[in-house]
Structure 1
């Protein structure tokens, strides 16, 4: 059985808190906290202590996890070494990679191995890391840019909570057709399944869910506008549907009425997130890909 063990030296700002309070602060889910307590899988300075124990500066907290502590403990992505994906940021718990446009996020069958998660698994294997990739969020196949991937099952529910609490900010760049009516705006229409085509999503479609997209016009060139976009929600095709619904489809978006281009002009430019276990706030930005123009005719 696979186990995971993590060691933390207690920083001054965490001194005086109980073990339980620190786990809650770190967003370790109740189910996993319960497993640690019941199995007595944690120590402070090598000694088993109660969760009510108050921690002191420079004490060492060690936690050990079993596979059955997690809802998804296994990462079953077949490693593929044929393509290297650029890394924008990495620590012991997660990696942010730069996905090319046209690359799928994850496989849909056990034999499929030409996806981002397969290439990341191959990179971990090539570097002899004793970790595996776990999907945290996704971007469309046609979209390029920054994607967070967990390296351990422990941080998956932590990152999920940060996403739900809108503590992780994802900023996109998009070229759209037309001149925007104002410098910035908010689109707040619900998004559901397109009644005519279940591959697509539509404003006020079937089973529509609340969706909010913020946009800012950076500049306009030859009747095309470059927008900076931030999401409050993460509905499928949200940016594409919202912008098309206000008459400004993304250039290259054949599915939602955009004018034809070799690729979808949507790029995940920046991710800002609180790093797990008091790692501070990190802003991660990658370079614009060569096929995403600075000026668009």
Structure 2
């Protein structure tokens, strides 16, 4: 069953007054405008269909019927447990368990969060096109964001690395960090010996910044809260290793086999998002998962 997504607006005094300029002002990209015009999209003003050159007045009601997005066959819908933290007509936030990938890799047919989300959306007779806004490593748990349309994806992308989209993590690391809070500002690049690894690269690396603050100290470790200021692959894992405090269970970067947890003790615990359409501040949280609670309680003694 094909479904269409509708967007509703009321024209404000400050808005541009032709349909085209109005839509551009509301962050429609050139490709989205093209799809609206040529691939079955429609614009209604006060319940009458209008073209892009139609002139608007303050108070007009605008309904945009988005073009239908054909879901990719590369991601198959698969049933699975889905912990939904927040959902509206624009995007979906879920709490990902550890041990499952965000997206299928090439030639990979195993179940991922994208497969489960696609099944969930289609079961609700919604468009099953997958728009992944934030991803997590397979063995990192916590909050992930999926947009429900290309328009919502574009809107979220525009705020993703700003103060309007704040990402916080909890990690349990070896040792006690001194000072107890600070900024790690070290460029990250691709490891020259293994393409799937990252390292500190002062010559060719990209700017990477992570704020950290110690929440609890133990004899052999610390629970720290981190805020990403940039979004590099493995950023927290690489930065923690670089300052001498790798994450418990992160064998890829610590080379330490850990008996207390069988994956990196890293969890996306909070997202503060200024909704790009309603401008409401969403403060979304995911509690510490059981394996990290066990590790924390064991370290507490």
| TM-score range for the pair, normalised by the shorter chain length | 0.7 to 0.9
Q: Secondary structure at the match of 1:61?
A: strand
**Counterpart contact for 1:211–1:235, Cα < 8 Å:** yes
How many Å apart are 1:58 and its aligned residue? 5.8
1:285 aligns with 2:285: yes
- Distance (Å, rounded) in 2 between the aligned partners of 1:131 and 1:274: 25
Match of 1:196 in 2: 193
Match of 1:161 in 2: 158
1:80 aligns with 2:81: no
**Counterpart contact for 2:172–2:265, Cα < 8 Å:** yes
1:219 aligns with 2:219: no
1:41 aligns with 2:42: yes
1:71-220 correspondence to structure 2 within 5 Å: 74-76=71-73, 77-81=75-79, 83-109=80-106, 112-165=109-162, 167-204=164-201, 207-220=204-217
Match of 1:255 in 2: 252
How many Å apart are 1:44 and its aligned residue? 0.9
Match of 1:70 in 2: none
Q: Secondary structure at the match of 1:60?
A: strand
Q: Secondary structure at the match of 1:217?
A: strand
- Distance (Å, rounded) in 1 between the aligned partners of 2:114 and 2:38: 34
**Counterpart contact for 1:143–1:266, Cα < 8 Å:** yes
- Alpha carbons of 1:10 and 1:167: their partners in 2 closer, same or farther (altered >3 Å)? same
**Structure 2: stretches of 5+ with no match in the other structure:** none
How many Å apart are 1:275 and its aligned residue? 2.0
Tell me the TM-score normalised to structure 2 length. 0.85
Q: Secondary structure at the match of 2:23?
A: helix
**Counterpart contact for 1:42–1:62, Cα < 8 Å:** yes
**Structure 1: stretches of 5+ with no match in the other structure:** 68-72
In the TM superposition, what whole-angstrom CA distance separates every residue of 1:124-167 from its partner, at most 9, and x where no partner exists? 23333344332122111110000001122222222222214453
1:48-63 correspondence to structure 2 within 5 Å: 48=50, 50-51=52-53, 53-57=55-59, 59-63=61-65
- Alpha carbons of 1:51 and 1:284: their partners in 2 closer, same or farther (altered >3 Å)? farther
Q: Secondary structure at the match of 1:291?
A: helix
**Counterpart contact for 1:201–1:236, Cα < 8 Å:** yes
**Counterpart contact for 1:177–1:224, Cα < 8 Å:** yes
- Alpha carbons of 1:7 and 1:140: their partners in 2 closer, same or farther (altered >3 Å)? closer
- Alpha carbons of 1:125 and 1:65: their partners in 2 closer, same or farther (altered >3 Å)? closer
- Alpha carbons of 1:291 and 1:58: their partners in 2 closer, same or farther (altered >3 Å)? farther
Q: Secondary structure at the match of 2:66?
A: strand
Alpha-carbon RMSD across the aligned residues, in angstroms, is: 2.7
- Distance (Å, rounded) in 2 between the aligned partners of 1:266 and 1:111: 24
- Distance (Å, rounded) in 2 between the aligned partners of 1:291 and 1:186: 27
